[in-house]
Every structure is written in structure tokens, then in C-alpha cells.
Structure 1
Amino acid sequence: MSSALPYKKGLHSIDPYIPGKRLEEVVKELGLSKVIKLASNENPLGCSPRVPEAAVAVLQAPSRYPDGGNSELKAELSRLTGLGPQQFVIGAGSFELIAFVAETFIGPGDEAIMPTPSFSWYGTVTKLQEGRIIQVPLTTHNVDLDAIKREITAKTKVIWLCNPNNPTGTIFTDEQLRRFLEDIPSSIVVAMDEAYCDFVTGGQGYPDTLNWIGRYPNLIVLRTFSKIYGLASLRIGYAAASEETADYMNRCRQIFNVNAVAQASALAGLKDAGFRERVYENNRLGKEYFYKTFGELGLDYIPTEASFIMVHTGQDSDTLYQQLLKEGVIIRPGSAYGMREWLRISIGTMEENRIFIEALRKVLKAPEAAGSSKN
């Protein structure tokens, strides 16, 4: 029976977000003794050893509310970036920060533009505010900034950009972004999601957006502690913007939206540059290994600047996903992004990377896989 409750209109067009399967779930379902997860772009090296120490210290007084203003974390971010503490908004990961942007700037009938495929949450939060999402296809797996500009109308309020883009791992450069920002109206917000910025290989012309906020007050930069810092389970990230924009976004924020353990852990992670360098190097070696082995297997792939890589198998990704599950490997099928013959692989430890490659070799040779190719 249909309910008469007044659900928001935007909810009708939203599909629930489906995260990657958990390790424990696959072990229980398939009765496997060992499973590796290369599906959710989690940090394969865990987190800085300073993090558990900081977390335990905070847990000595769990009856106290966390710092609602995130003052220590903002002060450290200010020291590292040169931005003022009032220019930061601390949120429960990128998901909440993206929602803050939508709540601050998008209303019923407003338009927001996003590349596709990209992070689906941009579309979800736009629809939740009863806005309209305009999707602009990638060009040769790259975000097409010129095509995005052509979609701007009087109703455009936000442009969502992901750099490096998820799921393709491609980037646009300093020069490309600067031209783009110069050309669009200053009244349109550019929300720059840089969740994977710490993995970009040097020399690629990646934009230093935090230093651009003073020149482009319509720019909001979103970053997370989930990836290179390895704090995905604690849900914490930050937005950097003009003081005015940060003030308005903070009005959307619950007073104690980020718990004390997450705040202390993020602060500890920021202070451990050595750990971040080890994660970066592991990722660099892992993607080079994948480039080499995919080449040996005759598989096309998209060179990546993130902590994951897309590989084209020529076979149905959902079928391969299920076969790889049986081999104890969890990946992300490209069907989730409209790329049916592609797999998205998180870059793991070298041991995990090799286990995946051996499993991939096996399933690609399987008769059922060979018979599932779609032209």
C-alpha cells in the first residue's frame, strides 16, 4: 500500500548508495578463509601509528563532548596551508561536506553540473535539495571542462568537479582549471573534490587549488582523511573556502558532527609526514606493477593519478566481479559507472596486487567468462 506521508520530491529519483562488500560479509557468504578487498579505495597500509595512540588518549574521557569548533584541527590546517582557521569547515568525510555545499547553494529548480562518470554523491545531494543535475560525459576518460562550460545557464548554481576523477583516475591541469575559472561567472560555485590529490605523481601540472581561494572566492576545495591518512572508518574531512562561504556552510553543520576520536586522529595523521610518504610510494609502485602486468595480459587500462585503476577486460564486469569474489578478491565492477567491460581496482599492498592479478588470470581463462563478452 502506498503511503500518504509527505516525502520530499527529490527522494523519488534517488537510488540508495551501495558501498563495496565488506570482507567479513564475503568470508561468511562464501566460506573462504582469506579474502582481500580492492573495492573501496581504502588505505592498504592502515593508518599512522600515531593515530591509535591519539585515539586511546581521547577515550580516557568519553563522557565529554568533542570540540564543536574543531579548533585544534583547524589551527594545524591553517599552519600547513597558510589559510585562516575561519576558512575551514570540518565534516564527517567528503560525503557530509558535499552535502553541506548542496544545502548551502542549491534550491528547488536550481541546476548543478557534473562530469559523468564521476562520484555519484554529487547527483544525490543535488536531488535531495530538489535541484536538477546536468551530466556531461567524459572525453577519452577525462573531465571535459569546455563541455561543462557550454552547459552553464542562468539556473546553474554549482559545478561539481572531481580531480583526480573517480572512477577514471584522470586529472585536469593547473592551466586547464585556471582558464576554466576565469571563464565562468563568479556567482557559480565550483566544488573541487580532491579526495585523491595526495596520490598524484609529481610533474603532472596538478593545480594548487588551496592557494587559489583568495583569487576565486567561488572555489570550494574538499579533502578527506579517509584515503592517504587511512581514517575511513572515523569519517572526517575538510572543506577550504573563503571566510564568508565557510561561515555559511558551517551553519548547515550539526554542532558536534565530528567526534573527538576522529578529530584527534586527523591531527595525529597530519603530523606524520613519513607515513604519508610510505603510502604514496606503495601506491606508485603498485600502479607501475599494474601497468606492466596489464600490458603483458594485453588489457587496456587508464593511467591513473589516484589510488585505484580502471582496466578494460572486454567481458561483462558483473560476471567477472562474481567470479573474482569466489577467488577471494573484492573489486568494483565498472557497471556501477556505466562502464560494463571495465573493472575498478583499488591499489593494495604488493602482495594483494599479485593475488588479484593471479585471480584475474584465472577468471579470464574460465569458459563462463569467455562466453560473457558483450559487443
Structure 2
Amino acid sequence: MKPKSHIVNLPVYQPGKPIEDVKRELGLDEVIKLASNENPYGASPKVKEAILAELENISIYPDGGAVELTADLAKTLGVNTNQIIFGCGSDEIIALLARAFFVPGDETIMADQTFSVYKSNADIEGAVSIEVPLVHGTHDLDAMLAKVNERTKMIWVCNPNNPTGTILSEQALTAFLDKVPANVLVVLDEAYCEYVTDPSYPNSIPYLEKYSNVVILRTFSKIYGLASLRIGYGIGQPDVIKLINQVREPFNTTRVAQAAAKAALKDQEYIASCRRANAAGILQLQGEFDRLGLEYFPAHGNFIMVDVRKPAGEIFDALLRKGIIIRAGHSKYPTHIRVTVGSEEQNKAFIHALDQVLEEQKAQV
């Protein structure tokens, strides 16, 4: 068998290391995973009730159009039902956007460094990725605009940005969108938007009325705590959503995921409590990093990227041996690690392990 020549050397996405693997490989009884930006408090109790009830229908195909969930979400967001598409996580919407719009030779613009799935899907479709360096961990919107030409098909803006956690203000993003040509699609990836407390952060939904070329991506994997159920969504103009739907596989979200998402939407009090706990966790970790004299990017999601002043891979391995899984391997930030904001107890355990690792590193010098 001979595959497409341009995919032979594509890197395979590496998710956060599973807890079960670490326990087995290192013989550990207790492991804390702070690598994949999961909600440490899990999902709402109402979600669990909905899942149990839905198990009665496990032999029945899901609603391929997620009609009830779409109606609930449209009401929550204040948009029309034909402006929403659901996917197997927002990752699938990224893949569907690439499938629907890219032909070989198209160009797509993104930050460097940002969520790697934008580039990998562009590569699969034969599009050329134009990567624009971050400035102080934040998208350089002026430099991204300067890269737009007649071959540009799509621009990706991750806000808050993964992995740095920085945000773009409403003022900056609006000025940017005003200048992007109407034939260039702008994808606003807002996977972590529900965590943001900064008042300068944009409410992007009104952009959909003003800009016909905007698509917004969000997910139930993060603050809603449904990561294992893989359900996310895109919001855009009806004609754009229709095109994405035309390349979507049928039954791409499950009955259980749809039921869980419907229940999660109805418990906004729980979401607010997770937002408050996350904000407290950010302050907790920032205070400890200040004590250790470590610099970090402003955190607006549920993770912090911190400069440990040592090769990140070494710190990752050392923390792993102590039962703490974090994220390393960011090529543009070789001495930075990304750590999910956990519960107060998880954060304490991480800092205790990091203290030990940094002391051990000093002793080796």
C-alpha cells in the first residue's frame, strides 16, 4: 500500500500521558495528571444523572443532527439552530474545516506556538501553514495580517492561546477582524473561554452578525468536564455551517454525549463554581512560582505555562517519577512546562514535587 506522499512524515499528535500507563511503568500507587487541562472537579452531578438515564437507549443510534442539543445551545447562545455544528470534540470541527475548505496550495495562517492540530490538519489537506511567532506569548495580529495574500484561505486564532494561556482583548480582536478580507475565514478557537475572568476578553458571539467570515469553536471537554465523551461545537454563518456539515460523517456524536451536554448546559451554577475555583487555583500557583522566582505567562484558561529554567523534558521526567504528569515538548519554549490548574490539594502536591525536583537539579550542577 502506498499512502499519500505528503502525509508520510507527518508527526502523530501526542496526548498527555495516561495515569494508568504511569502507574504501571513506574510502579506508583498515586498519580496526579495535570497535563491535559481537564476539569479536576469533573462534571456536574446533573450530567451523571443524565448519563445513567441515557444508558437505557444505548442500543439506539444517536440523533445524527443533535437536534435537541442544538436547540438548547442555540437558546443559550442567542443564535439560530442553523448556525451550530457538533463534532467529536472541537478537534473534529477543526478537521472538518480543513476538509471543507483547503485544496493543495492554499495558505493558512496561525501563531507559532499554538494548538498543533491546526497545522496537522492543514498538512493532511496539502495546505501551506504560515506560522507567525508569538510576542510575549500572545498572537501578533499585525504580523499575521501582513502574511495575508491571494492564497490565504483561513486564519486560526486560539483565544485563550494553548499552550501559553494568553488572551487577546476585544479591542485588539475587533481591530484585526475589521482588516481581514471577507473571503478569508477566521476561526476563533475558544476552548477555554468559560474560564476567563478578564473583562477585556471579547464576547465573540456578536461578531457573527458583523463578520460573515468568522467561525467560533468551543467544547464541552474543559470546564464542562466531558472530555471522555468527546463533544464540541462550531458556530458560524448558516452557509458556512452547511458546508462543514456536508463533509461531516453521520452519527459523529453519541447519545450519551448529547444527553450529558444538554444536562451540563442547564447547570450554569456548577460552571460558575468551577470558574471561581480555577481562578483561586491560578492565584495559588502563581504565588508559589513567585516564591520560587519562576516567570510565567498570564494565565486565563485552566493552565499555566511557566519557565523552569531547565530543559523541560528533564523536569517532565523528574516530576513523572514523583507521580505528577505535566506537559513539556513545546519547541519554541524549551524550558517551559505547561501545568493544568488542579484542585487545591493537587496544586500543593505538584508544587511540593517541583520544589524537590528543582533542588535535585541544583545538587547536580
Would you call these one fold, judging by a TM-score over 0.5? yes
Q: CA deviation at 1:336?
A: 2.9
Conserved 8 A contact 1:13-1:127: no
Q: Which residue of 1 aligns with 2:67?
A: 71
Conserved 8 A contact 2:220-2:227: yes
Q: Which residue of 2 aligns with 1:307?
A: 302
Q: Which residue identity lines up with residue 159 of structure 2 in the other structure?
A: N
Counterparts of 2:315 and 2:162 in 1: how far apart (Å)? 21
Conserved 8 A contact 1:20-1:332: yes
Q: CA deviation at 1:320?
A: 0.8
Counterparts of 1:110 and 1:13 in 2: how far apart (Å)? 20
The alignment-based identity, stated in percent, is 42
How do 1:125-140 and structure 2 match up within 5 A? 125-140=121-136
Change (3 A) 1:319 1:369: farther
Are 1:258 and 2:253 counterparts? yes
Q: How many residues align?
A: 365
Q: CA deviation at 1:202?
A: 3.5
Are 1:364 and 2:358 counterparts? yes
Q: CA deviation at 1:94?
A: 1.3
Conserved 8 A contact 1:118-1:162: yes
Counterparts of 1:168 and 1:98 in 2: how far apart (Å)? 20
Instruction: Extract unaligned runs of 5+ from structure 1.
Output: none
Counterparts of 1:363 and 1:369 in 2: how far apart (Å)? 10
Counterparts of 1:246 and 1:174 in 2: how far apart (Å)? 24
Q: Which residue of 1 aligns with 2:3?
A: 7
Are 1:94 and 2:90 counterparts? yes
Counterparts of 1:323 and 1:130 in 2: how far apart (Å)? 39
Instruction: Extract unaligned runs of 5+ from structure 2.
Output: none
Change (3 A) 1:295 1:245: same
Deviations 1:83-130 (A, max 9, x none): 100100000001101011111111111000100110000000001111
Q: Which residue identity lines up with residue 24 of structure 1 in the other structure?
A: E
Secondary structure class of the residue paired with 1:65? coil
Q: Which residue identity lines up with residue 219 of structure 1 in the other structure?
A: V
Counterparts of 1:347 and 1:172 in 2: how far apart (Å)? 21
Change (3 A) 1:354 1:237: same
Q: CA deviation at 1:368?
A: 7.0
Counterparts of 2:69 and 2:209 in 1: how far apart (Å)? 21
Conserved 8 A contact 2:88-2:230: yes
Counterparts of 2:232 and 2:363 in 1: how far apart (Å)? 40
User: TM-score, normalization: structure 1?
Assistant: 0.95
Q: Which residue of 2 aligns with 1:179?
A: 175
The CA RMSD measured in Å over matched residues stands at: 1.1
Deviations 1:27-78 (A, max 9, x none): 1111111110000000100101011111111110222110111011110111
User: TM-score, normalization: structure 2?
Assistant: 0.98
Counterparts of 2:221 and 2:6 in 1: how far apart (Å)? 28
Counterparts of 1:182 and 1:349 in 2: how far apart (Å)? 40
Q: CA deviation at 1:370?
A: 5.0
Q: CA deviation at 1:163?
A: 0.1
Counterparts of 1:182 and 1:192 in 2: how far apart (Å)? 14
Conserved 8 A contact 2:330-2:336: no
Counterparts of 1:281 and 1:38 in 2: how far apart (Å)? 18
Change (3 A) 1:289 1:216: same
Q: Which residue of 1 aligns with 2:343?
A: 349
Secondary structure class of the residue paired with 1:274? helix
Counterparts of 1:214 and 1:31 in 2: how far apart (Å)? 55
Secondary structure class of the residue paired with 2:223? coil
Are 1:279 and 2:279 counterparts? no
Are 1:206 and 2:201 counterparts? yes
Conserved 8 A contact 1:319-1:369: no
Q: CA deviation at 1:135?
A: 0.4
